Each structure stands twice: as structure tokens, then as C-alpha cells.
Structure 1
Amino acid sequence: MEIISICIPCYNEEKSLPIFYNEIIRIAKLMNEIEFEFVFVDDGSSDNTLNIIKDLAKADNRVRYISFSRNFGKEAALYAGIKYSKGDYVAVMDADMQDPPALLPNMLSAIKEEGYDCAATRRNSRNGEPVIRSFFARMFYRIVKKISKAEIIDGARDFRLMTRQMVNAVLSMGEYNRFSKGIFGWVGFKTKWFEFENIERVAGETKWSFWKLFIYSIEGIVAFSTVPLALSSLIGLFFCFASFVLIVVIISKTLLWGDPATGWPSLASIVFFVGGIQLFCTGIIGNYLANIYLETKGRPIYIVKQEG
């Protein structure tokens, strides 16, 4: 019988884990034509998450787990989960119930009966999310869609079900700086999208602050597009041309009218503006260099402390 591996990254999810487990077990009973394994990845939790997972593993031999030596981040946990999985099909989903397990039967049907390689999910609304956060999220997806070759859908969740072939393709991308939404889109394969209304966390608090999401979005753009580098070059060329024109104008005015040295406030403003543009472009280059620096170190994506 074929097997579905459910990979669940967990970071301080002691309140939501029992609720999630009960729901995923209920769905597994309905899908009795296929076997399940549940791979929990404890991402260095500081609460009782790991002990709860261990208790689940003792009571259910389908439950397996790995625990990191510290918090390496969700991207590392996602990668570890799918690498540790053994199923013919692999699903990744959160433990906070924002990814509805009830979609799994239809997702499996899309792969087995309709010929898709992947069944992915996206939110068709952002109800309950702060307005400013929603605005910047939509802007990010619009920007990255225009400047990247990877298919990154607005509202896409990490929750998806993949064939083993697609999973192997994702695992082949062993880069240190990971942006899974971009990786899933970059490897290609035929994907069917399932939409659902935004769901609030069943328990606990989100680990993603606005600042963390902002940094994550920058990492995503840097990982899957070189357009910012080209943009910084174009900005540099524009200011070089503008400077040349201004020099010609100033020399002409001085020769024709003997224009005195006035206008220092405007000059200071221009200097500060151009300086800011230079720092902005340097920052873009710095982000790419930082990624190259981290990749060349060859550090492991995560370190396992315990497994079972």
C-alpha cells in the first residue's frame, strides 16, 4: 500500500499539537486506502513541544520525529521533514491548523486521478490579518511575480502534497539560504491549486512578526531574482548622466552670467539624496554578497539532536 508522509515543522506549538494530531488522525481514518506516517520536526522549541511529540510517538508507531539542537528556522525544518520522510507522497503543513487537513483527500485525488505532480493551497482572502501586513504581502507577491522566473502565487501556503519525484527535485536544491515558496515554483511540475478562506491559529501566537516577514521577503527576492542588481546599475547610470548634465549647466551659467556660489541648501539636499541612493544600491549588492558568503561556508542547514 502507498504511503503519505505528513511533515509538520513545530516551534513552540504545545497548545496546538494535540488539536492538530486529533484532526489529522480523523482525516487519516477517512483515507483508509492509503497508509500514513507523521514526521514532526521540533525546531528547537523552548516549551513542551518535544515531550508531546515523544508521547505521540510512543502511542502511535506512525509518528516519527527529529529535534534540532537549536532553532534553525521554518525553512530548515521544512527541508529536514521532507528529507526524513519515506512516503510515496509527501505533504508539508503547519501544526497551528491554519492549513486545513480536510483538504488532503481532494489533494490526493488531484495527483492520483487527475495526473498532477503537486496539489498546493492558497488563501483567497486575508480576513483577520492586519491591513498593513496584508498590503505589503500583496505588494511582495506582485513584485516577485514580475522579477522572478519562479512561479510564486499570491496567498500561497507551504501546505502542499507532492509526488516523490517532485520531492526529490526539491531535495536536490541543497542551498543554505532557502525560500521554499520559490523553490517549489522553480522546480516546476504540474500543480493544482486549492483555495480556502484564511483561518486563524487554533492556539498560541504567530512566530512571524512584521519585521521577520520583511526580512524573509528580501531573502526570497534575492534568492530568485537578479533584477535588483540590474536596477542598482540603472540607477547608477541615471545619476551619472544627471551629474554630467548638471555640470554642463553650471559651467554654462558661470561663463554666461557669472553666477555666484549660491544655493547651498539645495546642493546639500542633492548630496544627501545621492548618498542615500548609493547606500541603497550598496545594500542590494551587500545582500547578494552575504548570501554568497553563507553558501560558500558550506554549513549544514540544520543539526539534529534527537530523533525517533
Structure 2
Amino acid sequence: MNMVPVRQTISVVTGCFNEVENLPEFYRRIRAVLLEYPEFDYEFIVADNCSTDGSRELLRKMAAADPRFRVILNAANFGHIRSPFNALLHARGDVALYICSDLQEPPELLGRFIQEWKNGAEVVCAVKSASQENPVMFAIRRFYYRLIGYFSDVPQLQDFTGFGLYGRRFLEALRLYHEPYPYFRGLVAEIGFRRVEVPFVQERRK
């Protein structure tokens, strides 16, 4: 008897706080990338941190219109670290793409991540080669994370925000860490697995 092959699933994970004006474009651009890979199923997971601008109402409508669109409505604002970390743990796909919903990180780069994954990479990390944000803030952040790297026992990923791709084995390893405030960038370096780094220019916050 011929067995029908099981289609792999891509999870797209993001956090959200007061992004009502960005969400439609964010969804449209990511879906355009996913439609280039019809061999995969996909799901969206959006964790909302108690938005007050109408984002939650819009997310409910988007979830009602697309059965692959899942929403986590947090009871409180758990911050930009814990909330997306929790959303990653809810990803059911064979691989998870993590991206911020403020459009500073170009959704079109997700296609490059998927190609690297198809070529065998289990983790793909997008690293900022440049940024269109305030140059002073960019320099301060760069210095701060280099300082962390200097004192860390584990080599850190410089100019890495978490934007990237994470295979199922990495996601399962992530479940073994029960830290109240996880330092995700450090965990990516500590957990390991075969990793590819992809440079990108961070856009100005929408």
C-alpha cells in the first residue's frame, strides 16, 4: 500500500504590542513568502502583550478568517522576552520562524531561512550588519552586547536579536530550560546545533 507522505509544517512566531497598523502588512508580506513554498503547511502564532490600540480585536478577526492563524492573548504584559519565548514553545511545526511584528526585520528574508533549513541548517540566525535606527542607540546596543560576550563563558552571537529559524530539535531542547526570564540570545549560543548566520539591515521601526 502506498503511503501518502506527511507534509512538514512551518510555524511563524511573533510577539505583538500595539501593532494594529503594522499587522495587516506584516501578515500579507509573510504569507507571500510562505506561498512560494506550497510543499509545506504553515501556521501563524501571535502572542499579544495586552495591546490597547485595537490589536487584540484585529487579531481575533484575522484568526477567524484564517484557521492557520493562532493567537495567544496574554492576561498581562509579560514583556518582549518572555512572551515570544512562550509562543515559541507553542509552535507545532517542524521548524519555527521567529520575527518581530514591528517590521524592523524584513519578512522577505524568511525565504532565505527556509532555503538554509532545506540545506541542512537546524538554526539560522539573522545578524544586523547595519541598522536604520538612531545611530547612537545602535552603537550603545552593540557595545552592550559585546560587553556581555566578553564576560560570558559561552561565545555569544553578536548583533543577533532572535530573528531567525529554529528546527524541531532545537525547540525541544528549549523546553528543558525553565528560567523565569530566559535570555534567548544566550540560549541559542549555548544549546548549539548546526547554525548559519545571515546578515541583514535592520529597518527603521514602523
Runs in 1 of length 4+ with deviation above 3 angstroms?
A: none
Identity of aligned residues (%): 25
Are 1:190 and 2:158 counterparts? no
3-state SS in 1 of match to 2:96: strand
CA drift at 1:59: 0.7
3-state SS in 1 of match to 2:164: strand
Show structure 2 runs of 5+ residues with no match: 1-6
Give the Cα–Cα distance (whole angstroms) in 1 for the partners of residues 18 and 163 of structure 2: 19
Which is further off, 119-128 or 53-62?
A: 119-128
| 8 A contact 1:122–1:155 mirrored in 2 | yes
**Number of residue pairs the alignment of both structures matches:** 200
Which gives a bigger RCO, structure 1 or 2 (Cα 8 Å, sep 6+)?
Answer: 2
Residue aligning to 2:48 = 42
Give TM-score scaled by structure 2 length: 0.92
3-state SS in 2 of match to 1:175: coil
The C-alpha deviation readout for 1:116-170, integer Å capped at 9, x for no partner, is: 2101101101333242x22322221222222113332222121111111001111
Give TM-score scaled by structure 1 length: 0.62
| 8 A contact 2:50–2:75 mirrored in 1 | yes
Choose which of 79, 101, 104 in structure 2 pairs with 1:73.
79
| 8 A contact 1:79–1:171 mirrored in 2 | no
3-state SS in 1 of match to 2:59: helix
In structure 2, relative to structure 1, the CA distance for the partners of 1:124 and 1:192 (3 Å cut) is: same
Give the Cα–Cα distance (whole angstroms) in 2 for the partners of residues 163 and 86 of structure 1: 11
What's the C-alpha RMSD, in Å, of the aligned pairs?
1.3
| 8 A contact 1:7–1:92 mirrored in 2 | yes
Choose which of 36, 39, 64 in structure 2 pairs with 1:58.
64
Show structure 1 runs of 5+ residues with no match: 204-308
Question: How is 1:113-124 mapped onto 2 (pairs within 5 angstroms)?
Answer: 113=119, 115-124=120-129
3-state SS in 2 of match to 1:106: helix
Choose which of 153, 156, 170 in structure 1 pairs with 2:157.
153
Choose which of 85, 89, 96 in structure 2 pairs with 1:90.
96
Give the Cα–Cα distance (whole angstroms) in 2 for the partners of residues 138 and 67 of structure 1: 32
Residue aligning to 1:220 = none
Residue aligning to 1:164 = 168
In structure 2, relative to structure 1, the CA distance for the partners of 1:151 and 1:100 (3 Å cut) is: farther
Give the Cα–Cα distance (whole angstroms) in 2 for the partners of residues 127 and 40 of structure 1: 25
Residue aligning to 1:178 = 182
Larger relative strand fraction: 2
